[in-house]
Homo-oligomer: A and B are copies of this chain.
C-alpha cells in the first residue's frame, strides 16, 4: 500500500529518529497536549523539520505509539490465554496500568477520541476481557456482579491516581490498584448498586474525558 519512496537523505533520517525519540519522551512526560514546538525544541531541530517529516501532530503521535499499541494488543491476547483467569485478569489490568502510569501520552491516546486509535485496542480488549471475566467468575475468583466493561473505569481510576501522585512516588498507584483488586475479588460483602454497564456504553463514554460541550 504505502509504496516506500526513495530513502531519506542521511541527515534527514537522523533527524527523523531524533524527533520520534524526543516526542516519545515529551509525550510520556506531559501528555499529548504538548506543542510540536516543544517536541522540536526537545529534539534539537526546528519546527519546520518536524512538519516536513510528519504532516501534522496526529501523524507524529501515531508514529510514536504505533509500536506501543501493537505491544498492548499482543499483551491483551497473551494474558487472555492464561489458564488461571484471575492471574490473567489482574495481570492484564496491572500491565496496562503500568504502561499508562509510565506514559501520560498513552493514557491520553486511550481516552481521547481525537486520535482514533482507541478502536484498535478495543478490538483486542473486549474479547480478552470477556473471556477472562467469565472464566474468573467460573473459577470462583471474581465477584459475580463484576462485568467486563467495568475494567475500563477501573483503569481510569488507577490512571487518575497515577497522574496525581506521579511526582510524589511514581509507584504509588499500585497501592490503589491493590485496593481495587481486593474490591473485585469473590466474596464481596456489598452487592454493586445500579445497572451493569455494557462495552458499547463504556466505549462511547471513555472518549470524552476532556471534551467541551456547546
Q: Does any Cβ of B come within 8 Å of A124's Cβ?
A: no
Given contacts A168-B197, A168-B201, contact A175 B192 (CB under 8 A): yes
User: How far is B174's CA from A169's CA once the two chains are assembled, in angstroms?
Assistant: 28
Interface string of A178-193 (1 = CB under 8 A from B): 1111111100111111
Contact partner, A169, options B189, B194, B212, Cβ 8 Å: B194
If over half of A's interface residues share one DSSP class (helix, strand or loop), that class is named, otherwise mixed; here it is helix
Q: Does any Cβ of B come within 8 Å of A165's Cβ?
A: yes
**CB of A213 to closest CB in B, whole Å:** 6
Copies of this chain, tallied across the complex: 2
Q: Does any Cβ of B come within 8 Å of A161's Cβ?
A: yes
Q: Does any Cβ of B come within 8 Å of A62's Cβ?
A: no
Q: List the 9 shortest-distance A-B pairs measured between CB atoms, nearest first.
A: A183-B183, A157-B157, A160-B160, A179-B183, A182-B183, A168-B205, A153-B161, A174-B193, A175-B192
